[in-house]
Amino acid sequence: MIKLSCALLIFISFISSPLMAEETKSKKDLNKSQAEGLSYTESLKLSEQRWHGSIGTSVSKGMNFYTEYYGSTSMMLSYKLSNKEILALSGSYRAPVDLVDADPDRFGIGFSDVELSYSRPGFYKTLSGAFSYSSDLSFPTSNYSRDSKIFLSWGNSVSYRHKLTDRFTVSSGLGLNLSHFRFKRSNSGLLVYSPLAASVSVSLNTKLTNRIFWVNAYALANTLDYDSKWDQIQTVSTAISGVITNNWMVSGYYYWRDTYESNQNVFDEDRITAGASLTYNF
């Protein structure tokens, strides 16, 4: 499955040569460099520390009447292999806010897939931007992946970040994901299935003030399904992030996700999720 994250939705951005010099002045302010449009790994590249981590908590809810409030806690630990290479391990836990009579199969309670990622932020620079590369392996530790019989998921992405002005930055990305399923059927034995997914994305990061930033993004994913047909899924998102201190950051986000050709109205409430998050970087 292709991953279209929520507010994390906030996503693929890249270092420009002039921006590098500007950001190096505040190496300790990891949150600010992230909010200004740099990805987490690009922010780490500007830091002198080898080990970094982040812990976040969030609350989200679908906009229709019947959707529950969900709370989640996420954690990431990263290590700089060199100034150009970063290795990271991440995972999260998700549960409905109201646990009374909660059904794990219905509400998706439990841990997410554990993800091991490798990245090369800003591996190729231009006069006003830079390209970055990332690759990740997702291991089926979530209930959903185990139920879906996902054996392994491998994603790759190449992105470009371009600084338009001091206030505006545009990012674009191409992604490729390969998932591997293994089914055991009583009549035919082991069935191996490896669908392919490709995605494109673009986002605009706006610096409203020195501590408040606004990101708008669009992503389109094409996934090859079991019937060898391509399913197109699009996501539109917006998020505002505020830097509280050098370590703390708060965000609010709103996103809509639906198939490209759908009977639902654009921005139909059944396809919209809103939420807020608080993150501590160390």
What band does 209 get if pLDDT is binned at 50, 70 and 90?
very high
Measured in degrees and rounded to the nearest 5, phi and psi for residue 144 equal -65, -45
> CATH classification of 17-281 is 3.20.20.30, yes or no?
no
> What are the residue ranges spanned by the domains of the chain?
17-281
Does the pLDDT at position 22 exceed 50? no
- Model confidence band, residue 148 (pLDDT cutoffs 50, 70, 90): low
What pLDDT score does 43 carry? 60
Of 11-15, 165-169, 180-184, the one with minimum mean pLDDT is: 11-15
Q: What is the pLDDT of residues 219-267, one digit of tens each?
A: 999 887 666 677 888 999 999 999 999 899 999 999 998 876 665 666 6
Q: How many C-beta neighbours within 10 Å does residue 263 have?
A: 7
- Of the pLDDT bands very low, low, confident and very high (cuts 50, 70, 90), residue 54 is very high
pLDDT given at position 5: 41
How confident is the model over 170-203, as pLDDT tens digits?
Answer: 999 999 888 766 655 555 555 555 677 899 999 9
More confident residue, 93 or 68: 93
| pLDDT score of 62 | 86
pLDDT at residue number 57: 95
Please report, rounded to a whole number, the percentage of residues in the chain having pLDDT higher than 90.
41
Question: Which tops the pLDDT comparison, 94 or 31?
Answer: 94
> What rounded mean pLDDT belongs to the chain?
77
Q: At residue 106, does pLDDT exceed 60?
A: no
Distance CA 155, CA 111 (A): 20
